[in-house]
Structure 1
Amino acid sequence: MNTHTPPRFDPTRVPHLLGSFAPVTEEVDVADLEVTGELPPSLDGLYLRNGPNPRFTPIGSYLYPIDGDGMLHGVWLSEGRARYRNRFVRTPALEAEERAGHALWGGLESMIMPDADQVGPELAGTFRDLPDINVVRHGGRMLALAESACPFRVDAGLATLGREDWGGALPAGITAHPKVDPVTGEMVVFCYALEPPYLTWSVIGSDGAVTRGPTIVEGVDEPMMIHDMALTGRYAVLVLAPVFFDLAAAMAGGSFLSWQPERGTRVALIPRDGGPLRWAADEAFWMWHTVNAYDDGPGEDAPVVLDYVEWSRLTVGPDSGTDAGPVSGGLTRARIDPAAGRMARTRLDDSRVEFPRVDDRLIGRRHRYAALATETGRADLLPGEYDAVRWYDTETGDSRVWQAGNLSVGEPVFAPEPGRDSDGHGHWLTFATDRTDGASWFLVFPAEDPAAGPVARARIPVRVPLGLHGCWLPTEA
């Protein structure tokens, strides 16, 4: 059903459907990629990335990075060779649109939903699944993750197996950025919703069984958007920026996201042992992604250190523009006092950055290095496009940058050297696409001297649209 007359929409004028972001529709397999340089023989596993990739030309609206069908891009590495495969995450909505030969659902802001004559009674009047943001492997499952919904499980060959709700234990699903504790193997997750309970958190054991079902985060009495989280040994850390859902406005043709800076930003420290919730508050800021967090000392009142990428305001949707002035941001550290409910923020680096990553073996523990996509200041980049990679040293404050020239780069992911501790030995991996000819590459940087540039480049047989998040999955014994 069309709940209102959709706004006039021209997909050819949407930046995130153009250039390096433009979707691809072909699914391909190539057994032996062309490589420049030498792929390190220690890399044995799969680099896998997810991202929004509309199967058909969008109708009604398109809001990056939330809208779009998921497409997985995988590079398998072994013995200095590489192979590639990409596959759509095949949701019921995508399959219905393939049968129709065109888009049936509009973007989230348009509220266009097909009726029963078009898709049958089960899908009629429903939102489409959007498992297009991240991908993780945990407890025997490989999951393509949506913003806040049930993920979709895929097999080792990237074929879609179906929606995952952990046997009904997590019926509302999870968000796109769960965190796996490298010590316990637990995956801590959260989920936000448009109806009560508005915010919950859960724990999935290392074996894939849910050990803590959806637990309400008290003190959240309206629907909010919270994209990412952090983890420490004691806490799950949630940053609640003042971004609220306004379903009534969306039904009337307005924006479904409302930025309300006068309400400030709160941080929830959720004890993993089930103890009392701790809160801290500060002036309004927006955050897409955390870098990492850790407990700075023993005892329940020890400070929590949170590194993240801060933005001065929301950077998506209508509320992100015009009269609010230019958006600013950078790599930031917050030191949170659980007892006093206060936080002190320090800007570590003013460079325009996003997609921060650390060695995943250090999640929840003190880290030294962080890698981020960044800009060099050129004027021809689209919003959310980056042309360099920056590595930041939290001990010294120094940073190193590799400028990519005509390449648009994605999120860097760390692949540790097998048998080495978390000491920076390994390689950073990412996709990059040439803005001049659309050629895409898989890049491998040495962690010891990443600014020297890639030691290997593997040519990808199709253009890889700029996407979102991925992971390194070493071959399991």
Structure 2
Amino acid sequence: MAPVCVRRFTGRCRKVPHDAPGGSVTTHTPPRFDPTRVPHLLGSFAPVTEEVDVAELEVTGEIPAALDGLYLRNGPNPRFTPIGSYMYPIDGDGMLHGVWLSEGRARYRNRFVRTPALEAEERAGRALWGGLESMIMPDAEQVGPALAGTFRDLPDINVVRHGGRMLALAESACPYRIGAGLETLGSEDFAGALPAGITAHPKIDPVTGEMVVFCYGLEPPYLTWSVIGRDGAVTRGPTTVEGVDEPMMIHDMALTGRYAVLVLAPAFFDLDAAMAGGSFLAWRPDRGTRVVLIPRDGGAPRWAADEAFWLWHTVNAHDDGPGADAPVVLDYVQWSRLTVGDAPGAAQDPVSGGLARARIDPAAGTMTRTLLDDARVEFPRIDDRLIGRRHRYTALATSTGRTDLLPGEYDAVRFHDARTGTARIWDAGDLSVGEPVFAPEPGTDSEERGYWLTFATDRTDGASWFLVVPAEDPASGPVARARIPVRVPLGLHGCWLPADGG
């Protein structure tokens, strides 16, 4: 029996004894796995393995001259055919896709986020790690003692720029620092101040320049939060959130001027079940959903609770008045249950959801929820200059309902107006669209003066495009389409990085 260091979703090691049959470390006999039958490895999601550079993209329409910078998106993209299991969107190597814009012209580059595990698999010429649910890990003879018996790093979800660093972000681990040419510079622990890492959705306060982050783990402390200053230095190290006594999955957060806002839905990690061949993530709706408001000044957290619901992504939040007891308004995309993997209890009833709003009373410890829009939506984004303050417009990927689409696949963009409660829609037709990202027009502060950027892939022929949609009339569709001569798989999150560093 040999010990395994389980070092995923936590910066520490948990030793688990097991056998190592067939020269490969595994904690149980994995189920039969056929990657050719996994929908999220096919069609518009199918991974690409070639890293390419295209100096000049063919453009239909006209790219606004005001757009000068880099649109960058991350997403899961297995370098080799997966073994054991594959669970979208958690599994998969990170691949960055960038479109540089300047003077109405566009160029493209894609690069893998080069983790030690990816490089070890490249040396072997095949996958050595299984997906998270299969728990397959290579032994020391295959990858050396440092990587043996560990989960692989998966910085495949998001990408941000802050404090002079460009970071590819994982679900809950150290991010990877990325260079100006999308080259991987190495794992980033912020000079040792955040050894367990951060999650994939930190929030940057546009007023203070601080980046507020959180991290969850499989061992105590199960949830911490931290603050990274405008200059990239950690100003608050990992601070335990008291009241969390089990390992939970928490994908996103929100920020107000006063609070960091975290939604703790009843999605619990169960490592013992995973070691026995079951699911490592369990949906337990009887536990309900809690929201914690963490004062940014270091005060005691404030809690509220309600019936169970799940969220992948927040939209935004703000303090609804002065004073410590003022309510907090949180907009988010709500789901009736968790929909990932084989989480027990997560596949028993149809899933429903939409764009929702929670009003949280920190003094009473209560919240009320309202469904703002019942359309099937995800990947919500606002003008990031309004993070933590009132916003008007939210752009979301949505579906028309004309055709069957996979989870995570959308064929339209919905633009919700919080002031009027109405929505405008751009129907993308045969295109599957990704998350829309806002690029403001330089020198303006209006949410309607700028452009929504995204990648899209044609479901009929696999052709991929970079799209520029005007914020003042988004339902009119793109003013420019840049043809990407290689397919860009549907992915997750991205950002607009102006050339002036703003």
The TM tier, using the shorter chain, reads over 0.9
Structure 1: how far apart are the matches of 2:402 and 2:465? 21
Contact 1:313–1:320, Cα closer than 8 Å, also in 2: no
Match of 1:109 in 2: 133
Q: 1:1-34: CA deviations, max 9, x gaps?
A: 1221111111111111011000000100011100
Structure 2: how far apart are the matches of 1:461 and 1:228? 33
Distance 1:343 1:322, change over 3 A: closer
> Which secondary structure does the structure 1 equivalent of 2:313 belong to?
strand
Contact 2:315–2:381, Cα closer than 8 Å, also in 1: yes
Q: 1:177-206: CA deviations, max 9, x gaps?
A: 000000000000000000011000000000
Distance 1:336 1:322, change over 3 A: closer
Contact 2:26–2:135, Cα closer than 8 Å, also in 1: yes
Aligned-residue offset at 1:424: 2.1
1:143 is aligned, of 167, 171, 174, to 167
2:459 is aligned, of 423, 435, 438, to 435
Match of 1:251 in 2: 275
Aligned-residue offset at 1:324: 2.1
AA in 2 matched with 1:288: W
Please list every run of 5 or more consecutive structure 1 residues that lacks an aligned counterpart in the other structure. none
AA in 2 matched with 1:202: S
Match of 2:333 in 1: 309
AA in 2 matched with 1:117: E
Match of 1:79 in 2: 103
Match of 2:57 in 1: 33
Q: 4+ residue stretches of structure 1 with deviation over 3 A?
A: 320-323
1:336 is aligned, of 334, 356, 360, to 360
> Which secondary structure does the structure 1 equivalent of 2:405 belong to?
coil
Match of 2:477 in 1: 453
Aligned-residue offset at 1:380: 2.7
Contact 1:15–1:383, Cα closer than 8 Å, also in 2: no
Match of 2:13 in 1: none
Q: 1:33-80: CA deviations, max 9, x gaps?
A: 000000000000000000000000000000110100000000000000
Contact 1:314–1:320, Cα closer than 8 Å, also in 2: no
> Which secondary structure does the structure 1 equivalent of 2:303 belong to?
strand
Structure 2: how far apart are the matches of 1:43 and 1:320? 47
Aligned-residue offset at 1:242: 0.2
Match of 2:376 in 1: 352
Contact 1:368–1:393, Cα closer than 8 Å, also in 2: yes
Q: 1:56-108: CA deviations, max 9, x gaps?
A: 00000001101000000000000000000000000000000000000000000
Structure 1: how far apart are the matches of 2:341 and 2:48? 24
Normalised by the length of structure 2, the TM-score is 0.94
Match of 1:383 in 2: 407
Aligned-residue offset at 1:379: 3.4
Match of 2:312 in 1: 288
Structure 1: how far apart are the matches of 2:57 and 2:376? 33
Aligned-residue offset at 1:322: 7.5
The answer to whether residue 442 in structure 2 is matched with residue 418 in structure 1 is yes
Match of 1:183 in 2: 207
Contact 2:334–2:356, Cα closer than 8 Å, also in 1: yes
AA in 2 matched with 1:362: L
Q: 1:381-434: CA deviations, max 9, x gaps?
A: 122210000000001001000111110000000000000013321000000000
Aligned-residue offset at 1:321: 7.3
Contact 2:397–2:414, Cα closer than 8 Å, also in 1: yes
Match of 1:276 in 2: 300
AA in 2 matched with 1:29: D
Structure 1: how far apart are the matches of 2:36 and 2:194? 39
Contact 1:334–1:343, Cα closer than 8 Å, also in 2: yes
Please list every run of 5 or more consecutive structure 2 residues that lacks an aligned counterpart in the other structure. 1-24
Distance 1:54 1:197, change over 3 A: same
Contact 1:231–1:363, Cα closer than 8 Å, also in 2: yes
Contact 2:339–2:346, Cα closer than 8 Å, also in 1: no
> Which secondary structure does the structure 2 equivalent of 1:316 belong to?
coil
AA in 1 matched with 2:399: E
Q: Over aligned residue pairs, what C-alpha RMSD do you find?
A: 0.9
Q: 292-301 vs 416-425, which deviates more?
A: 416-425
Structure 2: how far apart are the matches of 1:20 and 1:110? 24
Structure 1: how far apart are the matches of 2:298 and 2:399? 41
Aligned-residue offset at 1:461: 1.7
Structure 1: how far apart are the matches of 2:290 and 2:39? 32
Q: 1:192-235: CA deviations, max 9, x gaps?
A: 00001100000000000000000000000010000000000000
Contact 1:136–1:143, Cα closer than 8 Å, also in 2: yes
Q: 1:226-251: CA deviations, max 9, x gaps?
A: 00000000000000000000001111
The answer to whether residue 175 in structure 2 is matched with residue 156 in structure 1 is no
Structure 2: how far apart are the matches of 1:287 and 1:323? 16
> Which secondary structure does the structure 2 equivalent of 1:113 belong to?
strand
Structure 2: how far apart are the matches of 1:96 and 1:423? 45
Q: 1:153-185: CA deviations, max 9, x gaps?
A: 010000000000001000000000000000000
Structure 1: how far apart are the matches of 2:347 and 2:245? 29
Structure 2: how far apart are the matches of 1:2 and 1:304? 46
AA in 1 matched with 2:455: F
> Which secondary structure does the structure 1 equivalent of 2:312 belong to?
strand
